């Protein structure tokens, strides 16, 4: 059986599953220097989260020993898919495991934004009773724009509709009938989406096309007023991938009040510096990339990625290979 490196941790259940199936599991974080020195050349597979970067150089240093690379989660921008494909290494992920957890965190950020929960908490801790300054707005009757319309976005949209929101989406890869089946208006351009929505939530992958997709010019297109005439302001949430939102532009928009609130779970550079200016803005609140950080999601993601890794190692079919087009 295979020797599997787990560099960013995994649940005890997942580790036991691999070991019960005869695999040797080494749970250890390796520095970039160690990876470049070829530490993975003694392994048949590696499982990473977001901390470990599997670059083209790391893949070359592994000396073709790897049969599969696993991402315990959804986003794979920390893995060079093309380089892995050229080396004949399939990359698998576990896209379903964290869906519910990310949906719930997104809704939590939306609600916290419009009801000024973080701002109210900070004022209480400062000894203030700033009740009049904390007037917010409801989500009901407002328009939510989803950038991307995969599983997580569909889940967020379903909850938003229950709360009385109208849901719009932009996804160039989505068949219109899918949006229609979710009672969601599909836009042909991201510009049109922003122009029609006071609340935006990001749910796409980080690619060359989506890098800094949310910028100052895009934010300025947002209407700031709901269809029923309520001046609810403009609100952006990102629980997808860092780098899609231009954080300097978000700060600029918060400063000139083009943007009312911003809530990020993911950042372009993680961890953020202790004195990061955006994090100090009174109308910003964030979380340290905790979208999948629930007991339930961690259990599911470990089990799912372990099953996908074992399927590839055993030569069985795996539906979650994300670099098929690059495999040589």
Q: pLDDT tens digits for 151-189?
A: 999 999 999 999 999 999 999 999 999 999 999 999 999
If we measure between CA atoms, which residue out of 313, 278, 240 comes closest to residue 68?
313
pLDDT at 159: 98
User: For residue 3, what is the enclosing H or E element?
Assistant: strand 3-6
> pTM, whole model, 2 decimals?
0.87
What DSSP state is assigned to residue 228?
T
Average pLDDT over residues 98-106: 97
Mean pLDDT of 108-122: 98
Q: Is the pLDDT of residue 6 over 90?
A: yes
Residue 106, pLDDT > 90, answer yes
Give me the domains of the chain, ranges plus CATH numbers. 3-97+295-326 (3.40.50.720), 99-286 (3.40.50.720)
Kindly write down the DSSP assignment for every residue of 234-290, as one continuous string.
-EEEE-S-TTSB-HHHHHHHHHTTSSSEEEES--SSSSPPTT-HHHHSTTEEE-SS-
127-156 exposure pattern, b = at least 16 Cβ within 10 A, e = fewer = eeeeeeeeebbebebbbbbbbbbbbbbbbb
Cα separation, 262 vs 40, in Å, equals 40
Can you tell me the distance from the alpha carbon of 109 to that of 84, in angstroms, rounded to the nearest whole number?
36
Residues 6+ apart with CB under 8 A from 112: 118, 263, 285
For the segment 244-290, what is each residue's pLDDT rounded down to a tens digit?
999 999 999 999 999 999 999 999 999 999 999 999 999 999 999 99
Structure tokens belonging to residue 23: 């695999």
CA 297-302-46 angle, 5° bins: 140
Q: What is the pLDDT of residues 198-235, one digit of tens each?
A: 999 999 999 999 999 999 999 999 999 998 899 999 99
**Catalytic (active-site) positions:** 241, 270, 289
Classify 34 as helix, strand or coil.
helix
Residue 21 token pair: 């199936």
Question: Exposure of 261 by Cβ count < 10 A (0-12 exposed, 13-18 middle, 19+ buried)?
Answer: buried
Neighbour-count burial of 160, counting CB atoms closer than 10 A to its CB (0-12 exposed, 13-18 middle, 19+ buried) = buried
């Amino acid at each position: 059986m295979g020797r599997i490196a787990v560099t960013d941790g995994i649940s005890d259940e997942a580790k036991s599953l691999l070991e019960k199936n005869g695999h040797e599991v080494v749970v250890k974080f390796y520095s970039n220097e160690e990876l470049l020195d070829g530490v993975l050349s003694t392994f048949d597979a590696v499982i990473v989260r977001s901390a470990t970067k599997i670059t083209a150089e790391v893949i070359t240093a592994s000396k073709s020993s790897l049969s599969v690379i696993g991402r315990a989660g959804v986003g794979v921008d920390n893995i060079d898919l093309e380089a892995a494909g050229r080396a004949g290494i399939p990359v698998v992920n576990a896209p379903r495991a964290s869906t519910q957890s990310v949906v719930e965190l997104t809704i939590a950020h939306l609600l916290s934004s419009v009801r000024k929960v973080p701002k109210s908490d900070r004022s209480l801790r400062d000894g203030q009773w700033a009740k009049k300054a904390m007037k917010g707005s409801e989500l009901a009757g407002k328009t939510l724009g989803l950038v991307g319309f995969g599983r997580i976005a569909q889940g967020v949209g379903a909850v938003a509709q229950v709360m009385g929101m109208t849901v719009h989406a932009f996804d160039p890869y989505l068949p219109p009938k899918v949006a229609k089946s979710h009672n969601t208006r599909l836009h042909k351009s991201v510009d049109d989406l922003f122009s029609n929505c006071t609340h935006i939530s990001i749910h796409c992958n980080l690619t060359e096309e989506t890098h800094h997709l949310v910028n100052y010019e895009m934010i300025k297109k947002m209407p700031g007023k709901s269809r029923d005439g309520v001046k609810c302001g403009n609100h952006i949430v990102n629980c997808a991938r860092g780098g899609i939102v231009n954080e300097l532009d978000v700060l600029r928009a918060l400063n000139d009040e083009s943007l009312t609130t911003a809530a990020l779970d993911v950042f372009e550079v993680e961890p953020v510096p202790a004195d990061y200016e955006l994090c100090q803005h009174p109308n910003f609140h964030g979380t340290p990339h905790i979208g999948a950080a629930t007991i339930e999601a961690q259990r599911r993601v470990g089990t799912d990625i372990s099953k996908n890794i074992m399927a590839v190692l055993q030569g069985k079919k795996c539906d979650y290979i994300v670099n098929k087009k690059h495999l040589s």
